[in-house]
Amino acid sequence: MDAKTLLAMGRTPAVQRATIHPFDRGEPGPFYYQRAAHPVGLEAERLLGELDGGDAVLFPSGMGAITSLVLALLTPGATVAVADGGYYGTHGLLAGELSRWGLKTITFDQTAPPPTADLVWLEPCSNPMLTFPDLDAAIETARANGARVAVDNTVLSPLLLRPLDHGADFVLHSASKILGGHHDAILGVVVCADEADAARLRQFRTASGIVAAPDPAWLLIRGLKTLAVRVPRQSAAALELARRLQRHPAVSIVRYPGLDNPVAAKYVDAFGPLLSFDVADADHAAHVERSLKLIENATSLGGVTSTLEARARWEPERVPPGLLRLSAGLEDIEDLWADLDRAL
Ligand code: PLP
């Protein structure tokens, strides 16, 4: 079945909040205790696995998913090469928290070949610098050097890019973003090419208790039903806003892979909801944030409502002071533009 139809027609399981399930004639069945597995989570994993073409393991957040991947599937002292300009939380976790456990992290420009490492971490449409790797070449180089490859595909979603088809070992999504789509559930997922990796992740998940609850998993399943409608529309809105921002006198740089990026165009035919652009300085960025009426001045991305924020408040050492990150939602494009143009 085509993925889009699969999503729209997928079963919506009842939310069973019970943490225990009675044994069957004295034996535990497939569900017995919620930390091990629950019916809604299993259905979410079935859909996510079909979408990405692998074995999906659900976690209570994107960060929980990344933590679990590293702790369960790497060994102490391993080196992770992580794409520069990608999600700052990933770098912070790897180079900060997990360095205490012996993990080594190096950053690299993902538009160039990756360095030697145990795990190479790519992020197409990186958040917030919007760089795009030459995926096939990067994966080939990483593999030739003996590395495994994880791709954080949060921004594009499997509707636009399926990294496992390109030879990646793992796909990571913050499902809190475009997969859920409504800014009402925090979740993450690792989709594995190899079932043995997924089995190891499930074992680690039960042991560590880094487990998603049924309610957010149910919201994710509901959100997935409209993914095939939201992604193209949000991508079209982002492209149109990027083009108009390029012509705006108050804007110096617009970052969006849909703007004349032949490498990105080799892999995807739409470029997702996320873009970033620079105004003169931090004061102007703050003025734009406070002047918006329709676009929410809030963090996060991928939801049905558009969000914009100055990123320097979170990662001042990594981004220009006037950088604004915008995620296009489902509002009318002319309303969005009128709001942005007036605020600028
Ligand atoms: N990866 C990317 C690209 C993100 O943007 C985020 C969150 O902003 C994460 C991972 C972490 O996900 P979560 O907030 O669900 O823990």
Domain boundaries, the chain: 3-224, 229-343
| Beta-carbon contacts of residue 139 (< 8 Å; ≥ 6 apart) | 120, 122, 149, 166, 167, 168
Tokens representing residue 265 in the block: 């165009």
In angstroms, the CA 271 to CA 130 distance is: 10
CA of 249 to the centre of ligand 1 (A): 32
Whether the model clears a pTM of 0.85, i.e. scores above it, the answer is: yes
Q: What is the pLDDT of residues 291-338, one digit of tens each?
A: 999 999 999 999 999 999 999 999 999 999 999 999 999 999 999 999
CB 235 within 8 A of CB 242: no
Q: Which atom of ligand 1 is closest in space to residue 123's alpha carbon?
A: 3
Contact 198, 170 (CB under 8 A): no
The answer on pLDDT for 182 being more than 90 is yes
337 vs 133: CA distance, rounded Å: 29
307 pocket-lining for ligand 1 (C-beta < 6 Å): no
Q: For domain 229-343, which CATH number applies: 3.40.50.2300, 3.40.50.150, 3.90.1150.10, 3.40.47.10? A: 3.90.1150.10
- CATH topology for 3-224? Aspartate Aminotransferase; domain 2 (3.40.640)
Q: Tell me which residue has tokens 């390109």.
A: 166
Beta bridge partners of 312: none
Atom of ligand 1 lying closest to residue 188 CA: 15
Nearest-angstrom CA–CA distance, 214 and 286:
38
Q: What spacing in Å lies between the alpha carbon of 199 and ligand 1's midpoint?
A: 23
Residue-wise pLDDT tens digits, 209-236: 999 999 999 999 999 999 999 999 999 9
Return the residue whose CA atom lies nearest to atom 12 of ligand 1: 62
Q: What are the pLDDT digits (tens) for 30-56?
A: 999 999 999 999 999 999 999 999 999
What are 128-168's pLDDT values in tens digits? 999 999 999 999 999 999 999 999 999 999 999 999 999 99
Specify the residue for token string 């939801």. Answer: 303
Q: Residue 220 in contact with residue 174, Cβ under 8 Å? A: no
Q: Which of 145, 148, 144, 123 is nearest to 133 (CA)?
A: 123
Q: Cα dist. 13→33, 267, 300, 311 in Å? A: 18, 34, 27, 38
In angstroms, the CA 338 to CA 291 distance is 12
